[in-house]
Structure 1
Amino acid sequence: MNISVVIPLLNEQESLIELYDWIAKVMQSNRFSYEIIFIDDGSTDDSWQVIEQLSQKDDNVKGIRFLKNFGKSQALHAGFEKARGNVVITMDADLQDNPDEIPELYTMIVNDGFDLVSGWKKKRYDSVISKNLPSKLFNWAARKTSGVKLHDFNCGLKAYKQEVVKNIDVNGEMHRYIPVLSKNAGFARIGEKVVLHQARKYGETKFGMDRFINGFLDLITIWFISRFGKRPMHLFGALGVLMFIIGFGFSLYLGIDKVFFNPEGRLITERPQFYIALATMVIGTQFFVAGFLGEIILRSRQDKKRYLIKDKLNL
């Protein structure tokens, strides 16, 4: 199979038929073998009923329905598990991503040798204050922190080699950082394509300003995981040893000063420097223990499902 199109969605019943028709037209005109996997992330409207109708009409349409809203990352993870295409395309269900971009994205993966190609919505139709400016700041921080030189990490329109989606773990709210996860997994050939961004036609956006706050927090998380996720002792252990040595050295200085230079002075325990040194040694010990526990947890953890599926169609 040439292409799997993975589409996470939440309450997008108005756009699904139009989106399906558009994707099917592009696929058929380019003679691609394909499947369209809709992941209903706990919709409360009639989105699932629409997906059921489409799956009965076309065997290429597959559906996964979550028991409740688990988040976009979990929806993508479920879609990636089921995708069978040599190239996997992700896009949003709100018609703001243009299916006409699919053939060129496919070509960049198959012919140009990219592991991943990310869309870049260079010209956007979103609010400048509520979305564009925060998005630019977020993307700048993501580039500086991750080393992945993309202009638009948040663009839902992306193309992947099948090997990429089968070997990365998308969890929490990490869907924004799939290119970073791919790079960390060894899939470093990451490209970018300017794509057409369209104004939302139906409904309202599901994302507010809080997604940028969460995005920056996730950025810190993925920075830590990228560098120390497999070796937490290298960070916490090093900090712990350093702080303990500083505290111990300061305590030793206070002891030498008391015994040899100021025997008639105040007791060591009456000097505030003593408690600073003691606190530093205690915190250093706690850092070291945290790193040690992190190593134990890392080696003993068992992967668990992060979502519950209610229904499936054609899968």
Structure 2
Amino acid sequence: MLLFFARSYKLLLSVVIPVFKSERSINILYNQIRDTLEKEAISFEIIPVSDASPDNVWQVLENLAKTDVRLKPILFKNNAGQQQATLCGIDHASGDFILTIDDDLEFSPADIPTMLRTLQDSELDLVYGVAQKKEQKGIKRFSAKIARGIIGIFFPRLRYLESFRIFRKDIRTTINNKKKFILDFEYSNGKIKIGKCDVSHNKRMFGESNYSMFGSLHIWFTFLFRYSFIPHLTLALLLVLQFLCSVNLVASLLLASPIVFLYIKYRLQTTDAYLIEKRINE
């Protein structure tokens, strides 16, 4: 019995869930995580972070937390975005290992023990759960493949990029010492060892993705102008082109102005600070 508790404590896992418009799925996800980790004798805490969700998901979390002190929900006063909800959960995690998973049930908690073992049995610092085949609609699946291909070219360390990830708590310091923008890109150029684990993928059970076309564009522009050398190279090429071709100065400025505007906007942007309204079982 003592061995069981010692082993469980050593394997303490924090599961962080950014939550938005998921009142129908969060109960199912909680039950799946709890049952899976209890079966594997892994001690854990679950930290769902409600990003000022307009539905009744917070009421669902409050009721669940009354019956399980390992469930530690956090409620935002303001809508700060999925990245900030994830980072907030990471900030408040106490586990030796931290796992993040979305609230839409597309990734299965049944794969969590395998991801944990993959991380433990290696010298990796972070492991992404990567599905070989995603149960998504054709257009979304096609666009995801294109996005992954682009990321693989310009950010090769993030070719496995997924929101389903597990990492050692040691790298949390690396994240917290940086400005908090997009979690993965903040350490994409560091010395953190990154790997992957094959996982399953399910069809979305409820509703549609919370990311609109404009929301996705915003993320992509942030990737491009904050973390990539491409804008620098483009501006340099425009200047060289102007010099070689003797292009009219006004025309050159008009040509370069959209890139300059986006570059300044995304390089100087600040994150939406999250404000915590309530915490339970902290």
The two structures have a TM-score, normalised by structure 1, of: 0.71
SS at match of 2:174: coil
Shift of 1:164: 1.8
Structure 2 unaligned runs (5+)? Answer: 1-8
- The alignment status of 1:182 with 2:192, answered yes or no, reads no
Matching residue's letter, 1:138: A
Following superposition of structure 1 onto structure 2, how do residues 123-272 of structure 1 map, counting pairs within 5 Å?
123-129=133-139, 131-148=140-157, 150-151=159-160, 153=161, 155-168=162-175, 169=178, 171-172=180-181, 174-175=182-183, 178=184, 180-187=185-192, 189-224=193-228
Aligned-partner SS, 1:102:
helix
Query: Which of residues 38, 51, 69 is equivalent to 2:61?
Result: 51
Deviation at 1:146, TM superposition (A): 1.2
Identity %: 24
Q: What amino acid is aligned across from residue 151 of structure 2 in structure 1?
A: A
Aligned residues: 257
Task: Please report how far the alpha carbon of residue 66 of structure 1 lies from its aligned counterpart in structure 2 after TM superposition.
Answer: 0.6
Higher helix share: 1
Structure 1 gap ranges (5+)? 229-234, 251-272, 298-302
Match 1:309 to one of 261, 276, 282? 276
Question: 1:46 & 1:216 partners in 2: Cα distance?
Answer: 30
Q: Any idea what SS the aligned residue of 2:187 has?
A: helix
Give the TM-score normalised by the residue count of structure 2: 0.79
Query: Do 1:66 and 1:307's aligned partners in 2 also have CA atoms closer than 8 Å?
Result: yes
Equivalent in the alignment of 1:77: 87
Shift of 1:170: 6.9
- Does structure 2 retain, via aligned residues, the 8 Å contact 1:142–1:219? no
Larger Rg: 1
Any conservation in 1 of the 2:155–2:188 contact (CA below 8 Å)? no
Deviations 1:228-261 (A, max 9, x none): 9xxxxxx79x96xxx7xx98xx9xxxxxxxxxxx
Q: Distance in 1 between matches of 2:179 and 2:37?
A: 27
CA shift in 2, pair 1:74/1:204, >3 Å: same
Q: Which runs of 4+ in 1 moved over 4 A?
A: none
Could you say which residue in structure 1 is the equivalent of 2:47?
37
Shift of 1:305: 7.5
